């Protein structure tokens, strides 16, 4: 079935079902629903990267407020739990001691003298007051998600303050200081789990990919706006991992202007096959929403419908699932999209008014998708066949 057929079915059945609470018998439904935990630290929304910086931690408080307003934390299969700061030991499972020391110094609000060597200072990664604390909270909530899954307390856990996928072992990058997806995945690896990390942010998930480029223990898949047009300039289809990790880094770059049809068709073409080939124990998804058409930083044209379609696909994989946030710089749209994501995790009803209107794909959408079929063919014939089940 093509993406378009599936999308029409999705809009026709799924959205109607989920938008009409009268159709659901909550008691009976709840009994068969997965337990979903929303991890949030009260402190995170109060940090500020600076008044002119696009990254606004305030979006986290706005999302939680909308989630509560819509009653999405009320069902008995859901729970709101307080995240914690990650420990230095956990951070050092990926980052270097030298970088951590510099980040700690930057917590005062002043970049250390050698800050630029660690990506800290003016520009993308300001040394704002509390930057170290912010990063520990963001990463700690992702580790809490991993713990919740490992301890069997829930099948699904979300931390939208996480997903800071650009941070490298020895430096801050792209608004990201501590790579919380990696810290959380390392926790899962320590427990012997095989992890698939799927990243649908507008930007290439370069930091997470770098962490696992040479291993077959973690499969990383990133679908993003092409590095020819957007930071960080990486993530091409021929970047497939190396050594034991060959085939375990999967990248599909999209042209600027890619809409729901293009992004979701690309997703459908490769993601289910990657999961089928790898058979992970745990799914970790980075749900950046800087893909939305209104986003001021990128050039993609998604609506919440395309985003919701992919999140629902994750839900249908029926795996233990950690969902992290990521980019997203139009705060009103970010809070709607992430609230929808949480509703899908919680298998709850939401009113239609927080969704975007449906956009029908046009000739341009089809032409744009044709422009990436060579990359898709390459992934399907040369890369995904390298992925082994164990």
For residue 59, which of 45, 73, 70, 69 has the smallest C-alpha distance?
A: 45
Assess contact for 270 and 252: CB atoms under 8 A: yes
* Phi, psi at 249, each rounded to 5°: -115, 115
Tokens (6 digits) for 195: 């992890």
Q: Which tokens is 164 given?
A: 């800071």
Q: Are 303 and 356 a contacting pair, CB within 8 Å?
A: yes
Closest CA to 57 of 42, 49, 65, 45: 45
Q: Which is nearer to Zn ion, 119 or 320 (CB)?
A: 119
Q: Which helix (H) or strand (E) holds 145?
A: helix 131-150
Q: How many residues bind Zn ion (CB under 5 A)?
A: 6
Specify the 3-state DSSP secondary structure of 219.
Answer: strand
The CB-of-289 to Zn ion minimum distance in angstroms stands at 9
CB of 1 to Zn ion, least distance (A): 30
| Radius of gyration of the chain measured on its C-alpha atoms | 20
Q: Does the footprint of Zn ion cover residue 235 (CB under 5 A)?
A: no
Scanning 4-12, 199-207, 362-370, 378-386 for contacts with Zn ion by CB under 5 A, the matching segment is 199-207
For residue 202, state whether it binds Zn ion (rule: CB under 5 A): yes
Min CB(114)–Zn ion separation in Å? 27
Q: Looking at 138-146, 196-204, 214-222, 230-238, which segment touches Zn ion (CB under 5 A)?
A: 196-204
Helix (H, G, I), strand (E, B) or coil at 10: helix
Task: Give min distance, CB of 275 to Zn ion, in A.
Answer: 22
Q: Which stretch binds Zn ion (CB under 5 A): 14-22, 123-131, 232-240, 320-328?
A: 320-328
Instruction: Identify residues 112-131 at the interface with Zn ion (CB under 5 A).
Output: none
Beta-strand relationship, 156-159 and 78-82: unpaired
With CA atoms as reference, report the closest residue to 363 among 261, 243, 239, 248. 261
Enumerate the active-site residues: 166
| DSSP state at residue 369 | H
189 is a contact residue toward Zn ion (CB under 5 A)? no
Tell me whether residue 60 or residue 202 sits nearer to Zn ion (CB atom): 202
Minimal distance in Å, beta carbon 201 to Zn ion?
Answer: 4
Q: Which is nearer to Zn ion, 280 or 288 (CB)?
A: 288
Q: Is 140 in the site for Zn ion (CB under 5 A)?
A: no
> Are the C-beta atoms of residues 288 and 202 closer than 8 Å to each other?
yes
User: Smallest distance, Å, CB 287 to Zn ion?
Assistant: 11
Residue with tokens 């980052």: 95
CB 95 within 8 A of CB 207: no
347 binds Zn ion (CB under 5 A): no
Q: How far apart are CA 26 and CA 24, in angstroms?
A: 6
Q: Of 8-16, 73-81, 90-98, 326-334, which part binds Zn ion (CB under 5 A)? A: 326-334
Other C-beta atoms within 10 Å of 121: how many?
17
Q: Which is nearer to Zn ion, 268 or 290 (CB)?
A: 290
Contact residue for Zn ion among 189, 327, 334, 375 (CB under 5 A): 327
Q: Which is nearer to Zn ion, 149 or 202 (CB)?
A: 202
- Least separation, in Å, of the C-beta of 302 and Zn ion? 12
Tokens encoding 27: 């008691």
1: exposed, middle or buried (C-beta count within 10 Å: 0-12, 13-18, 19+)? exposed
Choices 18-26, 58-66, 87-95, 201-209 (CB under 5 A): range interacting with Zn ion: 201-209
Out of 203, 204, 335, 336, the only residue in the binding site for Zn ion (CB under 5 A) is 203
In the block, residue with structure tokens 């209107």 = 357
In this chain, which of 201, 225, 347, 375 binds Zn ion, going by CB under 5 A?
A: 201
Angle, alpha carbons 162-294-227 (nearest 5°):
65
266-295 residues near Zn ion, rule: CB under 5 A: 288, 290
Is residue 207 part of the contact set for Zn ion (CB under 5 A)?
no
- Specify the residue, 205 or 247, whose C-beta has the smaller distance to Zn ion: 205
Does residue 181 interact with Zn ion by CB under 5 A? no
Nearer to Zn ion, 156 or 204 (CB): 204
Q: Which residues bind Zn ion (CB under 5 A)?
A: 201-203, 288, 290, 327
């Amino acid at each position: 079935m093509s993406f378009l057929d599936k999308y029409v079915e999705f809009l026709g059945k799924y959205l109607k079902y989920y938008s009409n609470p009268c159709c659901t018998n909550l008691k009976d439904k709840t009994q068969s629903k997965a337990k979903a935990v929303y991890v949030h630290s009260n402190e995170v929304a109060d940090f500020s990267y600076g008044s002119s910086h696009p990254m606004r931690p305030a979006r986290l408080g706005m999302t939680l407020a909308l989630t509560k307003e819509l009653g999405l934390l009320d069902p008995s299969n859901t729970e709101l739990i307080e995240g914690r700061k990650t420990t230095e030991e956990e951070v050092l499972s990926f980052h270097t001691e030298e970088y951590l020391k510099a980040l700690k110094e930057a917590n005062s609000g002043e970049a250390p003298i050698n800050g630029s060597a660690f990506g800290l200072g003016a520009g993308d990664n300001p040394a704002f007051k509390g930057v170290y604390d912010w990063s520990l909270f963001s990463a700690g909530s992702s580790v809490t998600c991993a713990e919740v899954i490992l301890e069997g307390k829930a099948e699904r856990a979300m931390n939208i303050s996480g997903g800071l996928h650009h941070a490298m072992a020895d430096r801050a990058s792209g608004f990201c200081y501590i790579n919380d997806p990696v810290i959380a995945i390392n926790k899962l690896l320590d427990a012997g789990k095989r992890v698939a990390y799927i990243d649908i942010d507008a930007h290439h998930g370069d930091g997470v990919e770098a962490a696992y480029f040479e291993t077959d223990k973690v499969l990383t898949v990133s679908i993003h706006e092409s590095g020819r047009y957007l930071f960080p300039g990486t993530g091409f289809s021929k970047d497939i991992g190396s050594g034991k990790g060959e085939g375990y880094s999967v990248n599909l770059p999209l042209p600027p202007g890619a809409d729901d049809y293009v992004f979701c068709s690309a997703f459908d073409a490769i993601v289910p096959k990657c999961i089928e080939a790898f058979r992970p124990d745990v799914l970790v998804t980075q749900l950046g929403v800087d893909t939305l058409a209104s986003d001021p930083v990128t050039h993609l044209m998604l609506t919440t419908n395309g985003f919701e379609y992919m999140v629902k696909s994750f839900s249908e994989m029926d795996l233990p699932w950690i969902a992290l946030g990521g980019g997203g710089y139009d705060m009103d749209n970010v809070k709607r999209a992430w609230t929808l994501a949480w509703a899908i995790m919680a298998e709850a009803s939401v009113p239609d008014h927080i969704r975007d209107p449906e956009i029908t794909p046009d000739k341009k959408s089809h032409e744009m998708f044709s422009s990436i079929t060579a990359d898709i063919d390459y992934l399907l014939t040369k890369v995904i066949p390298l992925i082994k089940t164990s």
